[in-house]
Amino acid sequence: MSGTDDPLVEAEDLAAELDRADPPTLLDVRWRLAGPPGGEDYAAGHLPGAVFVDLDTALCGPPGPAGRHPLPDPAALQSALRAAGVRTDHPVVVYDGGDGMSAARAWWTLRWAGHRPVRLLHGGWPAWVAAGLPTSTRVLAPAPGDVRVRPGALPVLDADRAAALAAADDAVLLDVRAAARYRGETEPVDPVAGHVPGAVNLPAGEYVADGRFPAVGALRERFAAAGVVEGRPVGAYCGSGVTAAQAVLALHLAGRPDAGLYVGSWSEWVADPERPVATGPTTGS
């Protein structure tokens, strides 16, 4: 892809942008599901000028019935983004430890909040280091930003809408977790195993590898094989809305900016014992 609205930027191109008089705002959002906190990685080395933003506490709400990574409170998100130096209409680049998942959730959150000029460093921190580009351990205190959070700029699915997509013949809900989790054979994080009845399994590893996306044509072919075709509404979910945010980014690359994210994902779905759970390799209940 090319153009100012691309969701991805390569390391060498970003390095050139950082040499400009008014470079993009850099957000380091490195994160691991099981810890330790990404701030430790940031302290050990980061892109020059980057500010660390914690996915769990700054970009998401507290865990609970709405899931492990629910939507953040808009006022709290605005405060966190301003503290990180995010300015109205000024470009932002987010990066993570290389798998692209937390960076994709950060990209999605900023876009949902109405901040359109945000991109993801393709390949994350490893791509920057592999390119031999400079790093820093200096912790900056950025000038406060003035970004205004305006929620709702990207489609969000709740449990009812996700269920409707999964059940409809003319729509598709993608479950992007590993196949064993989808089938209900194992569940390492949430209390119930299985999937939303009618959802189609498309594990993340089938459309992204090591945090890097294939060519647009290959993405479109893979999504089409899972039932994502023009004119057919599409949404995605995972365990808690992080890996699924990466799926939504991939769908944007493939020409589907209308793709909805079920933010609560499986962790919200199973919080209500009345919601049905399917198991096995096929869709349906």
Pair of tokens at residue 226: 């899972």
Are 29 and 106 in contact by the 8 Å Cβ rule? The answer is yes
Alpha carbons within 13 angstroms on the beta-carbon side of residue 235 total 30
Compute φ and ψ for 173, nearest 5 degrees.
Answer: -110, 120
What is each CA distance from 186 to 192, 195, 201, 282, in whole angstroms?
9, 11, 15, 16
Are 268 and 65 in contact by the 8 Å Cβ rule? The answer is yes
Pair of tokens at residue 81: 């983004």
User: Maximum distance among all alpha carbons in the chain?
Assistant: 57
Are 229 and 266 in contact by the 8 Å Cβ rule? The answer is no
60 in active site: no
Tokens 């709405």 locate to 66
Compute φ and ψ for 51, nearest 5 degrees.
Answer: -115, 135
Please identify which of the residues 80, 172, 199, 238 carries the catalytic annotation.
Answer: 238
What does the alpha-carbon distance between residue 208 and residue 203 come to, in Å, rounded to a whole number? Answer: 9
- Where are the extended beta strands (E) located within the chain? 8-9, 25-28, 51-52, 92-95, 118-121, 156-157, 172-175, 200-201, 234-237, 260-262
Are 7 and 252 in contact by the 8 Å Cβ rule? The answer is yes
**Residues annotated as catalytic (active site), given as ranges:** 238
